[in-house]
Each structure stands twice: as C-alpha cells, then as structure tokens.
Amino acid sequence: MTAAATSPESARSGSDQKAFDFKAYLAAQKQMVEAALDDSLGPEKPESLREAMRYSLLAGGKRLRPILCLAACELAGGDPQLAMPTAVALEMIHTMSLIHDDLPAMDNDDLRRGRPTNHKVYGDAVAILAGDALLTRAFEMVSLRSPGVPSDRLLKVVGELSLVAGAPGLVGGQVVDLECEGKQVDLETLEYIHLHKTGALLKACVITGALIGGADDAQLDCLRTYARGIGLAFQIVDDILDVTASSDVLGKTAGKDLIADKTTYPKLLGLEESRQGAKTLIQEAKGSLAAFTHSGAGAGQEAPLLALADYVIGRDR
Ligand code: GRG
C-alpha cells in the first residue's frame, strides 16, 4: 500500500465517524511512524550499541503510543508532523521499558515482539545500556530534534516525559509490581500498578500530542479522562490476553502472569467481569471526547481517538 493510498486524510470523510476508515488510517499512521523510527537512529557509534537499539526499536509492535500522540495533536488542532519526534520519543521509552522488563532481574522473558528478547541476543549488559540509550535519546528527540514546535510547549513535553519515565510513572509501577509478586493484592493496588506501569505512558502519549497541538486546559482535562480510561482498559485486555491468547499470536510468552504468580484482573474478578469492566472504561473514555465533537479547534477530528479506544478493547495481541 502506498502512503498516498492510505493517507490519514483519505481515511476520514468529514467528521462522520461511520465514514472513517480506521483500518486505512492505522496502516497509514503505522507506515509513517515506522519510517520516522528508522530515521531516528543514525550511523552512530559504537556499532554494537546501535545494533542493539535498532533490534528492539524496529522489531514491530502495534505502535499504539506514537499513533495516539499524533491523533491527539491533530484533535487539538495541530499539525501531526510536528508531533512526530515526540511520537518517536514515546515509542523509544516504551521499547526501553520492554527491554528492561524482559531482563532476568525483572520478568525474565525470552520472547518479545515475536523474536528473542534483547538480552538473549546481546547479553544483559548491552540490553541494559541499549535501554538507557533509548531513554536518553527520547529526550534528545523532543529537546533537540523537534523543529517548528514552540519551546514552551517542548518544555512541557519534557516535563511530562520525565514524570512518566521515573518514580511517579513506569519505575514506581514496576517496583510495586515486583514487590507484589506471589502476594495477595487488592483491586486498589492492582489499579495503582497498572495506572503507573502501563496507563501513565499511554496518558503521556495523549497529553504530549495535545500539548504540541496547542490544547487548552479544558481540552487537556477531557483528554486526561480519556487516557485514564484507555490506559486501564488496555491493561485489563492485556491480562485477559495473557490467559486466552497463544504466544504465537501475542509475540510474547503467554501465561506469564500465572507462572510469575501475579495478581491480574481475571484472577481478581473473573474473565467476564474483567471484559465488562474494560468495556465500561472504554465507553467512559469515548464519552469524555464529546466536548470536541461540535466545537473548538480540531472539532470533527475526534474520529481517530474514538476508533483507537475501540481498538484497545478489540485487539487480539
Ligand atoms: C528504566 C526508566 C526505566 C523504566 C523501566 C521495566 C520498567 C521500568 C517498567 C515496565 C513497564 C512495562 C513493560 C509495562 C507493560 C506495558 C505493556 C502492557 C506493554 C505491552 O504493550 P503493547 O501490547 O506492545 O502495546 P507492542 O509490542 O505492540 O508495542
């Protein structure tokens, strides 16, 4: 498929969501994101580090995070191309977290995105350093490689990324997750883990995209509600897929939560109630976009975020 045949514009017809061709939109966005990711790592040295960074960054994946960032920028009335370096940065942070999560000292996994995990190929030390280099490159993408974006907006984006990558986000969620292995965990703690480990980065995708697009405070509030809903729903679906899907389809080891004796939504609530909970969160998330439907900059541009919310719950991997 050519980029022209599947451009985001050709995927949308006016503001009518029924006429929005999500499949074409997703394919076009993914293609653009893949190209930007490929461009983001130049001919740097040492070659061994570059290879390890590229191995995981270009290993495929749904690219949901960068696509959310671009869609939120557009919804806020901005040019999504201006948000591309930040979209790449978010995928770098995500990839770093996967590399570190798979290490023997953490989840100790052999398979990710359908291939051997980074440390299985390059060794633990290089995997740790490749993750570190991706994390720091993410900040470089925003602060030094985002032409055309006003610096006050970039500063806010840097702030969001530093919060999400650190103790108030991924690291904090991961620590509590590790501490809870093999223990009885209540729903409140489970929600804490997922809002930090998974939800925080998804929220940062939406908020940074909207910041670059020039969203005002009221719009950012609506988008925070949207992002919280899809973030939690995403993780509930992840827990469900861990017990219902195969490793082949997932591209990572299925049944891992059971093996590690982790508390999950299906374990606490059962499969059916978990599915229902995810559905409710997605309905609420979509409802929070109502403010964009008829007024303001970006009105009529909510179709991608509405469809992405449905994608979160309908995904099979
Ligand atoms: C070192 C700063 C620093 C942070 C790392 C390891 C860690 C702290 C956090 C773990 C975060 C983590 C791996 C959460 C799981 C999130 C999740 C459900 C990932 C799967 O995302 P998908 O399905 O994957 O979007 P693809 O491959 O499609 O991108």
- The alpha carbon of 101 and the centre of ligand 1 are apart by a number of angstroms equal to 7
Q: With H, G, I as helix, E, B as strand and everything else as coil, classify residue 115.
A: strand
Model confidence band, residue 50 (pLDDT cutoffs 50, 70, 90): very high
Nearest-CA residue for atom 27 of ligand 1: 61
pLDDT value at residue 15: 46
Nearest-CA residue for atom 8 of ligand 1: 171
Please check the confidence at residue 62 and state whether its pLDDT lies above 60: yes
Residue-wise pLDDT tens digits, 114-164 = 999 999 999 999 999 999 999 999 999 999 999 999 999 999 999 999 999
- Ligand 1 atom nearest the C-alpha of 317 is 23
- The alpha carbon of 123 and the centre of ligand 1 are apart by a number of angstroms equal to 19
pLDDT value at residue 139: 98
- Ligand 1 atom nearest the C-alpha of 101 is 6
For range 28-45, the mean pLDDT:
93
- The alpha carbon of 170 and the centre of ligand 1 are apart by a number of angstroms equal to 8
**CB atoms near residue 139 (< 10 Å):** 17
- Ligand 1 atom nearest the C-alpha of 95 is 29
Which of 94, 95, 177, when mutated, tests ligand 1's pocket best, judged by the most ligand atoms within 8 Å of its CB?
94
Please check the confidence at residue 4 and state whether its pLDDT lies above 60: no
pTM of the model: 0.93
Residue-wise pLDDT tens digits, 202-236 = 999 999 999 999 999 999 999 999 999 999 999 99
pLDDT value at residue 17: 47
What are the CB-based long-range contacts (under 8 Å, 24+) for 137-140?
A: 137/40, 137/41, 137/53, 137/89, 137/92, 138/88, 138/89, 138/90, 138/92, 138/93, 138/96, 138/165, 139/89
